[in-house]
Amino acid sequence: MYVIIIGAGRTGSTVINLATQDDHEVVVIERDTELAEEVSATYDCMVINADAASKEILLEAGIEEADALISTTENDSVNLMVTMFGKQYGVESLVSSINDPAHMELFEDLGVNIVESPHRLNGQYLYRAVQHPGIQDFLPIAGQAEIFEMAVSAGAPIDGLDLIEADNNDLLPEETIIVAIVRDGELLIPQGESEIRAGDTVTVFAKNGATSRITDVFRGS
């Protein structure tokens, strides 16, 4: 995956660390010279020491080929400008931090996949949003185990099936459990004959983490 990361501060550096550990092709844009030099010396990635709110700089970073763009700056105007360019050039996964909740609607209208307030924001969450855009929230437990929430899309492999049918079709790996369903604001405790429907929000425990094999079960084509 080709990932452009804007900002190398506390949140951005966490994203950079995770993305480079997973051997993705990473380009970092950081306007602070000292931070840019530190990232260049620490991580195996391309670093551009410049202001990201520039079409020329984003083109230099390869935005036309990027699979994901993650903006982590403390300036919502920069984050918004960057994601607008990302949208213009057809970047599939657009992820941004947000510093003022009043700006939330601007980012949502733009179609940014995940926008998080600083109260919950961290680099790990932003990186996970790029890996699995359908995840609404997640909680690491121990080792690789995670609990996460996903909205069920129309046409997803599990849409319209009850849990017994899903098990018979081997849709979910062993030690993966649907622990809750929220439908129309009502919490349902799943039983064997509980049906999963498009529009549900499911809470899932996965011993080996939220792998694509699991998340694709809840996402439409």
CATH number (3.40.980.10, 3.30.70.1450, 1.25.10.10, 3.40.50.620) of 138-218 reads 3.30.70.1450
What is the structure's pLDDT at 69? 94
- Residue 119's pLDDT band, with cuts at 50, 70 and 90, is very low
What pTM does this model have?
0.61
* 167, two tokens: 């098990």
- The answer to whether the CB of 93 falls within 8 A of the CB of 66 is no
Strand ranges, E, within the chain: 2-6, 25-29, 46-48, 68-71, 93-97, 114-116, 135-140, 146-151, 176-183, 186-188, 201-206
User: Collapsing DSSP states into helix, strand and coil, what is residue 41?
Assistant: helix
- CA 172 – CA 206 distance, rounded (Å): 9
Q: Give per-residue pLDDT as tens, 167-177.
A: 999 998 888 88
* 15, two tokens: 């994203």
Torsion (CA) 110, 79, 134, 186 in degrees, nearest 10: -80
Looking at the structure, give the CATH architecture of the domain made up of residues 2-131: 3-Layer(aba) Sandwich (3.40)
* Geometric angle at alpha carbon 53, from 51 and 56, rounded to 5°: 85
User: Tokens 């690789």 appear where?
Assistant: 144
What value does the mean pLDDT take over residues 214-219?
86
Sketch the domain layout of the chain as residue ranges: 2-131, 138-218
